Amino acid sequence: MRPEILFPLFAPIGTLKGVGAKVAPLVERLAGPIVRDLLFVPPHNLIVRERTTVAQARDGEVQTFEVTIDQHQKPRKIGVPYKVRAFDGTGFLHLTWFRTYGDTVERALPVGTQRVVSGKVERFGAEVQLAHPDYMLPPERADEIPPVEPVYPATAGLSSRQFRRLVQMALEKAPELLEWQDGAWLDRNNWPSWREALATLHAPESELDLSLDAPARKRLAYDELLAHQLAMIRRKLERGHVPAPVLHAGERSAAVKAALPFRLTGAQQRAMTEIRADLGSGHRMSRLLQGDVGSGKTVVAVLAMADAASSGFQAALMAPTEILARQHFERIEPLLASAGLTGLLLTGRDKGAGRKAKLAALADGSAQVAVGTHALFQDEVVFKALALAVVDEQHRFGVNERRRLQEKGAGVHLLSMSATPIPRTLELTQYGDLDVSRLDEKPPGRKPITTAAVPTARIGEIAARLDTAVKAGAQAYWICPLVAESEVADLAAAEARAAALREMLAAPVGLVHGQMPGPEKDAVMTAFAAGELSILVATTVVEVGVDVPNATIMVIEHAERFGLAQLHQLRGRVGRGSGESSCILLYDAPLSETAKARLDVLRQSEDGFQIAEEDWRLRGGGDLLGLKQSGFPDYRMADPIAHRDLLLAAADDARLVLGRDPELKSERGRRLRVLSELFDWRADRSNAPA
């Protein structure tokens, strides 16, 4: 329920004086439908009006003059401006209007009177002009001209100044509200109260006041971020109330763990603790497991699946391609077997009697774990007691596909896995619906990958080095990105590259590309994995997750055209065995500063989370459209990059508050409810993230 004190802010903008049927839709387009929305549009610029004389007028500046009206020059033809000549003792000033009939101007500027006029100066040779002056007042009313004026968005029919007037009216309606922020936190940041912050935001005195770093702006941004985090966490708490089977670690889990040839990393242990807390809660889990390629997500998934089996339930692991599913199965099956569990692999290849037998094993519960592809969620697949769905490379599946798998049981827990680390900021704003575990620590013994950026002109040198390495038994990936407008041309380029390499290296070279039928692609990949091919040329991203430990060299052409995350993932294909690995980023010189900085990040770091953060920072605010398209919330005060630290703090704050006071019943809780209502980040709002 919205508290009464907020009613004036939630009144339709039409209730403001001067907002009629014509203006209302314009305000609505620029700000929103209610009074509050006007307050949430920060000025994006400011006009400083300097008082000066005609002789000293500067072209392009907004300036103010005190003049005597001298003469009206009415237009004789259409298209000629209405002109008024005035002077101030240092020179003539021409005031001009297009499409204006003389009456109003004539009345406002009688010949012989003194006027203070203000507007943007245009100089044409010796002639000084103000076109459509902003102000024309008698000297005794000159103080009505603000020396500094915030600039707002404008549109045909609604000027920035009209908008500003509306903002000022809205400000008058803004009540004092009981402080919802922590007092110590406010003091530490030197932030004003909410009401004061708004007043300051809309009365900037210098460029500094417009910056995202201005205290008033930061305070309001923090309010917004906190409101959003509260809304997301509350929604998560509500959603978490879907009942689900209680799963506990048991004998099977212990047996799987004992069968592992290594100890879990600290990050894997933390992830397991988080997952087990969810699985044992009696409520359905929705958790994202984020970790670089090679960070050891599979083991975590297997242990969770063993928990399901220990508790008398089944689990399914779904991978986006057949080859990935098979690789998972081959690794998982021995672990399951050593715990006395039965797993099976189900893909589109299963036909006839073989398939029937597998379906029967899932239906009667004799198989506890299913690994597979899209084949898993087909209608004929029935589980006796599915309790856990694991989805590898979750972004390769649609929401519906994940859901269809989850619907094969009652309250099926979901563990999504992603090898694309995203910045914390995005995680907090985008995956508000999921709990996130991060594997931010690699299993020990991983050798660093030497990364070099080399101009394409030196491709011959690279090929020669490749030749030596391949003769010594190494294997390499060679990635040709999508460059040309047409896929046909791209394919031709990749084929030419493969042919050239065949000639230069006298080694078996394979080619995979996007338009290849699945089985054919799999056949080439399998041949590469078996060591029958020395080089694998690929047009599209090599199947994420495929493991070929003997491949130690990764060459990426046109590296500057890839996203950092993608480059990082590609590089993750190598460095999986005991050999030294290297990654060569070929680029077309010259590189832009940003492109250079991006490749440098990659040379200096192998930590996917760090790379994601740097990529995010390097992109600056430039990709906000892209962010919006990717479901980024439509913040009005907060900027996800400039206010990153505020976002992290708001997320902590929200978690702490709701941890202590889930219903927001304490004194601060009640005040925070007002904040929530003020921003109204509701699940049903279109710009609230899903």
Provide the binding-site residues for ligand ADP, judged by CB under 6 A.
Answer: 262-265, 268, 291, 293-299, 419, 443, 545
Instruction: Show the tokens assigned to 467.
Output: 């030749």
* Tokens 């010259």 -> residue: 590
Omega of the bond leading into 590 within 30 degrees of 0 (cis): yes
Within residues 507-546, the interface with Mg ion by CB under 5 A covers: 545
- For residues 60, 62, 67, 73, the Cα torsion angle rounded to the nearest 10 degrees is 50
CB 537 to ligand ADP: min, Å: 23
Burial of 73 (0-12, 13-18, 19+ CB in 10 A): middle
Buried b (16+ CB within 10 A) or exposed e, 626-659: ebeeeebbebbbbebbbbbebbebbbebbeebbe
Least Å distance, CB 293 to ligand ADP, is: 4
CA–CA dist 187, 92 (Å, integer)? 54
Q: Which is nearer to Mg ion, 320 or 579 (CB)?
A: 320
Selection from 592, 491, 247 nearest residue 388 by Cα: 247
Selection from Mg ion, ligand ADP, none that 118 binds (CB < 5 to 8 A by kind) is none
Residue with smaller CB distance to ligand ADP, 19 or 332: 332
Phi, psi of 521 (to 5 degrees): -60, -50
* DSSP secondary structure, 574-631, as one string: SS-SSS-EEEEEEE-SSPPHHHHHHHHHHHH---HHHHHHHHHHHTGGGGHHHHHHTT
Packed helices 593-604 and 564-571: angle between N→C axes, nearest 10 degrees: 30
State which residue, 279 or 417, has the beta carbon closest to ligand ADP: 417
Least separation in angstroms between CB 289 and ligand ADP? 8
* Residue 199 contact partner, candidates Mg ion, ligand ADP, none, CB within 5 to 8 A by sort of partner: none
Q: Which residues pair with 588 in a beta bridge?
A: none
Residue 265 contact, options ligand ADP, Mg ion, none, Cβ 5-8 Å cut-off depending on partner type = ligand ADP
Min separation Cβ 547 and ligand ADP, Å = 6
Q: How far is the CB of 265 from ligand ADP (least distance, A)?
A: 4
- In the complex, least distance from residue 581 CB atom to ligand ADP, rounded to whole angstroms: 14
Q: 327 contacts which partner out of ligand ADP, Mg ion, none, CB within 5 to 8 A by kind?
A: none
Residues facing residue 475 across a β-bridge: 551
- Residue 296: other Cβ atoms inside 10 A: 19
Torsion, Cα 343 348 353 359, to 10 degrees, reads 50
Contact 288, 431 (CB under 8 A): yes
Provide the minimum distance between the beta carbon of 291 and Mg ion in the complex, in angstroms, as a whole number. 9
Q: Which of the listed partners (Mg ion, ligand ADP, none) does 689 bind, with a CB threshold of 5 to 8 Å by partner kind?
A: none
Which of residues 265 and 394 has its CB atom nearest to ligand ADP in the complex? 265
Question: d(Cα 12, Cα 19) in Å, to the nearest integer?
Answer: 10
Complete DSSP assignment for 185-212: HHHHHTPPPHHHHHHHHTS--SHHHHST
Q: How far is the CB of 329 from Mg ion (least distance, A)?
A: 13
Question: Do 210 and 51 touch, CB atoms closer than 8 A?
Answer: no
Interaction partner, residue 268 (ligand ADP, Mg ion, none; CB < 5-8 Å by kind): ligand ADP
Nearer to ligand ADP, 293 or 388 (CB): 293
Q: Which amino acid appears at position 622 of this protein?
A: G
Report the partner that residue 299 touches, choosing among ligand ADP, Mg ion, none (CB closer than 5 to 8 A by kind).
ligand ADP
Alpha-carbon distance 30 to 406, whole Å? 42
Which is closer to ligand ADP, CB of 481 or CB of 545? 545
Joined together, the tokens standing for residue 580 give: 């030294």
Nearer to ligand ADP among residue 75 and residue 577 (C-beta): 577
Task: Pick the closer one to Mg ion by CB: 421 or 689.
Answer: 421
Min dist. Cβ of residue 299 to ligand ADP (A): 5
CB atoms within 10 A of CB 336: 25
How far apart are CB 467 and Mg ion at their closest, in Å?
Answer: 32
Residue 372 interacting partner from Mg ion, ligand ADP, none (CB closer than 5 to 8 Å by kind): none
Per CB under 5 A, contacts with Mg ion among 539-598 are 545
306 or 638, CB closer to ligand ADP? 306
Nearer to ligand ADP, 157 or 531 (CB): 531
Determine if 608 is a binding residue for Mg ion (CB under 5 A): no
Minimum distance from CB of 263 to ligand ADP (Å)? 6
Residue type, 23: V
Binding mask 629-658 for Mg ion (x = CB under 5 A): ------------------------------
Closest CB 267 distance from ligand ADP, rounded Å: 9
- Give the single-character DSSP code of 382: -
Measured from the CB atom, the residue of 160 and 420 that comes closer to ligand ADP is 420
Identify which of residues 199 and 264 has a Cβ nearer to ligand ADP in the complex: 264
* Class of residue 172 by CB neighbours under 10 A (exposed 0-12, middle 13-18, buried 19+): exposed
664 binds, among Mg ion, ligand ADP, none (CB under 5 to 8 A by kind): none
| CB of residue 284 to Mg ion, shortest distance in Å | 24
Q: Is the CB of 223 or the CB of 440 nearer to Mg ion?
A: 440
Binder of residue 395, out of Mg ion, ligand ADP, none (CB less than 5 to 8 A by kind): none
Partner from ligand ADP, Mg ion, none contacting 181, C-beta within 5 to 8 A by type: none
Helix then strand then coil, in percent of the chain rounded to 5, is 45, 20, 35
Cβ closer to Mg ion: 372 or 545?
545
**Which residue is associated with the tokens 């912050």?**
197
* Spatial separation of the C-alpha atoms in residues 217 and 224, rounded to whole Å: 11
**From ligand ADP, Mg ion, none, which one binds at residue 437 (CB under 5 to 8 Å depending on kind)?**
none
CA gap 275, 272 in Å, rounded? 5
Residue 259 CB partners (closer than 8 Å, separation 6+):
334, 335, 338, 339
User: Which one of Mg ion, ligand ADP, none interacts with residue 294, CB within 5 to 8 A by kind?
Assistant: ligand ADP
Min separation Cβ 412 and ligand ADP, Å = 21
Any idea which residue has 């397991």 for tokens? 272
Partner in contact with 608, chosen from ligand ADP, Mg ion, none, beta carbon below 5 to 8 Å by kind: none
Question: Which positions lie near Mg ion, rule CB under 5 A?
Answer: 545
